[in-house]
Structure 1
Amino acid sequence: MKFMTDFGDEAVILPLFLVVGVTFYAMGWRRGGIVWAVGIATILTCLVAAKLFGLYWGEVFGFVGRPFSVSGHVAASAAVYGSLLNIILHSRRRSWFLALLPPLVVAGVIGYTRLQLHAHTQAEIVCGAVLGTVGALALYRILSPVPGHIVQCALLVSICVIVVFHGYMFHAEPLLQNMFHTSYRSASHVLAW
């Protein structure tokens, strides 16, 4: 399970997102590179906002256990891998149904591993799957048909980045929690909440 879930770690997702965006832009598909970068950055920003909201909710209502946390592995994987698979598999076709399958399959596989590792609840995985799938579908609709040489290059670059970074871990969740708690306590002390 750990092997599979590591594909969704931020240590793989963030370099993949950056390298693919730069590749699109450098290969002459500038609009695609910009749309990809802005789209994925927006999805990841929504993910961080949802996680911060869960932390805030837990702090305000005195939740003793682990606060609700949307699965970042599932959301980011569905968005990034789902979008890439749509670009590679469906670069010319414009079918919503076909575009829905890759992010849902990715979300299902990564979500299953997160459940088996007891990293998230079912509700957190479903929320991550919805966020990532909606994001991947939106990107699919916005991106124009992809030139053929870009599809081949995207596949090659993606495989290289995944192979190089798979197995590394970026502990984003504890980092985000520490930043939130430090900021929240400072703000509550200054504002006398």
Structure 2
Amino acid sequence: MSEAFWNLLTRLGEAQILLPAMLATSLWLMLRSHKPRAALVWWACTAVAALLTTLTKLAFFGWEIGYAPLNYTGISGHAMFSTAVLPVLLRVLVADRGPRRQAAAMGVGIALAALIAWSRVQVMAHSPVEAVLGFALGLAAAVAALRVMHAPPLHAPRTLVLGLAAWMLLTPAGAPPSQTHSWVTRLSVALSGRAEPYSRWDMLHAYRQDLQRRGQPLPPFFSGPMVLGRMRAME
């Protein structure tokens, strides 16, 4: 698949795209059912996953808590959000259909979220372990939400379905750049008192020096495009 495809797909994992879709679906669910519990459970599970993801990033940028042997700097937020939101959203939209349709909708959501998680590796924004952890955390949030929320069997109006489809198809190409990474790095600096945030390249540079000093081989990811070009630029 082309680089343009991955760059477009990866934007579907942005909070600025997923959260409005989640909000619209939640508002419809609350107004139609007159019971806010289902929507609130979904938001609570997603919020817990988002908090854990943010804490891992703060820990790395502010306090250098990462794991260089796996090129780990924090959980992928795109992978987490897409997996926490999309399977539940699609399941809610077919809540009045039979179990097979509901399972198929969840399967489509999980498959799309898995592609978004992998896109983070393809665009060299995250290492594989970061993308997998984000996918796993988001999936745990989605499963927890679906088990507890008990979405009522409501028929989703065509206007909602078409509106969500248009939003998800059109906004990735036209939305402004996401600012969440910048916000988290600034917050980490403010909380830790550092002059500047710790970076992946700081971690890997120190790790490579340590391995070379001990005469040990570099992990395979050092020869990959994500790391190779950036490490050479630092030399």
Distance in 2, Cα, partners of 1:2 & 1:29: 40
Change (3 A) 1:131 1:143: same
Deviations 1:121-171 (A, max 9, x none): 001001101101111111111121432324766534422432453331322
Q: For residues 153 and 147 of structure 1, what CA distance do their matches in structure 2 show?
A: 18
Mapped to 2, the partners of 1:89 and 1:28 lie a distance apart of 15
Larger radius of gyration: 2
Equivalent position of 1:68 in the other structure: 73
The SS at the match of 2:124 is: coil
Taking structure 1 as the reference length, the TM-score comes to 0.77
Alpha-carbon contact 1:58-1:67 (below 8 Å) kept:
no
Once structures 1 and 2 are overlaid, which stretch shifts more, 124-133 or 152-161?
152-161
- Percent identity, please: 22
Write the deviation string for residues 28-47 of structure 1: whole angstroms up to 9, x where unpaired: 25222222222222222222
Question: 1:183 is matched with which residue?
Answer: 191
Report whether the alignment pairs 1:80 with 2:85. Answer: yes
Conserved? CA contact 1:88–1:155, under 8 Å: yes
In structure 2, distance between residues paired with 1:40 and 1:129 = 13
Aligned partner of 1:43 in structure 2 is 49
> Number of residue pairs matched?
183
Q: Secondary structure at the match of 2:33?
A: coil
How far, CA to CA, are the matches of 2:57 and 2:168 in structure 1? Answer: 25
Describe the shift of the 1:42–1:56 C-alpha distance in structure 2 as closer, same or farther (beyond 3 A).
same
Deviation at 1:111, TM superposition (A): 1.9
Q: Which runs of 4+ in 1 moved over 6 A?
A: 97-100
Q: Which residue of 2 aligns with 1:24?
A: 29
| Long gaps (5+) in structure 1 | 187-193
Asked if 2 retains the 8 angstrom alpha-carbon contact of 1:71 and 1:120, the reply is: yes
Alpha-carbon distance in 1 for matches of 2:134, 2:15: 14
Give the aligned CA root-mean-square deviation in angstroms: 3.1
Q: CA separation of 1:121/1:23 partners in 2, compared to 1, >3 Å: closer, same or farther?
A: same
AA of the residue aligned to 2:180:
A
Written as runs of structure 1 = structure 2, the 5 A alignment for 1:1-193 is 1-30=6-35, 31-58=37-64, 68-89=73-94, 93=99, 101-150=107-156, 155-163=161-169, 165-167=171-173, 168=175, 169-185=177-193
Unpaired segments of 5 or more residues in structure 2?
A: 1-5, 195-235
Return the structure number with greater relative CO, CA threshold 8 A, min gap 6: 1
Secondary structure at the aligned position of 1:148 is classed as coil
